[in-house]
Structures are given as C-alpha cells and as structure tokens.
C-alpha cells in the first residue's frame, strides 16, 4: 500500500463516557483511544491505522446515536497502558509491559459536524449498505470506511 493513501475509519464512543466535546476540550485537542478490548478492533489499530488517517467520531448507546464529528490519527498503534493498571476499569491481568495484549492510537479533534448524522438515516441509504455500522448485529467499535462511503456521508451533513 502506498504511504500516500489515506484511510478512513469510524470509532464509537459512549458520550456519557467520552464525547466529541471531551476530545475538543483536551489539551492539544488530543487523546489516546484506550479501553478497546476487542481483537478485531485491536488489530486495526495495531496494523492499519496510520498518521493522517481521518476518523468519524460516532456517539453510541445514547439518545440519538450517530456521527457527530471528525478526528485525525496523530499517533499510530502502541500499547494500551490502561490494561496495566489494576485500578483502571479496563484493567486486564493478562496484559503486561513485556507482552501487551491491547493497543491504542492517539487522535486529534478536527471538527464537529453542523448536525448529527444519525444511525437511522445512515441505515436508510443504499449507498452505505456495505458499511459495517449498519449491518445487523454489528458490535465493532472501530471499523473501516471506504473513501466513497466517507465522501457520501459528508454530503449528508
């Protein structure tokens, strides 16, 4: 794959735990995306997410689930240290510094969309049939978005 190619992603977060406004208000508007405990999502952060990739920020498990903003990958996959901390909610005794099991990336706030593009309307669009988010039973918290899907979603704003 050419280093010049930008990839696109979608990442879910429950706004009660961490919202787009929380990211915007962080120092440098940057935060590490810790707490992912799913192997498929881990592998994408470890292998595929590159500096400069753009990411939709999706609010899940809330009143109006949907895409609320855009962020950018600013640091590629590295060990998720929250797994090492017994006091952390995401502690995993099977992960340690010598053999970290979980990975994370750093993301920087880019913008908040002028409105929430809701899950409901994303599901209604035949152009997005292939998007993992709208597939039945989907539970992936991180997923790839094709360039075509990315550009189409932006036209919905």
What the block records as the tokens of 40 is 């498929």
116 lies in the binding site for DNA (CB under 7 A): no
Alpha carbons 35 and 11: distance in angstroms, whole number: 12
Alpha carbons 132 and 145: distance in angstroms, whole number: 8
43 lies in the binding site for DNA (CB under 7 A): no
CB of 60 to DNA, least distance (A): 4
Strands 30-32 and 8-13 come out as unpaired
- Identify which of residues 41 and 71 has a Cβ nearer to DNA in the complex: 41
Q: Where are the alpha helices (DSSP H) in the chain?
A: 20-24, 39-43, 119-123, 147-156
Q: Is 85:35 a contact under the CB 8 Å cutoff?
A: no
60 lies in the binding site for DNA (CB under 7 A): yes
- Binding to DNA (CB under 7 A) within 117-146 occurs at 119-120, 123, 136-141
47 lies in the binding site for DNA (CB under 7 A): no
- Identify which of residues 62 and 74 has a Cβ nearer to DNA in the complex: 62
65 lies in the binding site for DNA (CB under 7 A): yes
Residues at the interface with DNA (CB under 7 A): 12, 14, 37-40, 60-62, 65, 119-120, 123, 136-141
């Amino acid at each position: 794959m050419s280093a010049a190619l930008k990839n696109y992603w979608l990442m879910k977060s429950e706004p009660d735990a961490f919202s787009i406004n929380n990211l915007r208000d962080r120092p440098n508007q940057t935060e590490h995306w810790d707490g992912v405990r799913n192997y498929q999502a881990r592998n994408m952060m470890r292998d595929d997410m590159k500096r400069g990739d753009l990411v939709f920020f999706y609010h899940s498990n809330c009143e109006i689930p949907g895409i609320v903003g855009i962020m950018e990958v600013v640091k590629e996959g590295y060990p998720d240290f929250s797994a090492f901390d017994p006091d952390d909610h995401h502690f995993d005794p099977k992960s340690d510094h010598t053999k970290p099991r979980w990975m994370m990336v750093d993301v920087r706030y880019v913008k908040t969309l002028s409105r929430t593009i809701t899950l409901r309307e994303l599901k209604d669009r035949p152009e997005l049939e292939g998007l993992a988010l709208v597939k039945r039973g989907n539970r992936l918290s991180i997923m790839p978005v094709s360039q075509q899907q990315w550009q189409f979603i932006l036209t919905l704003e």
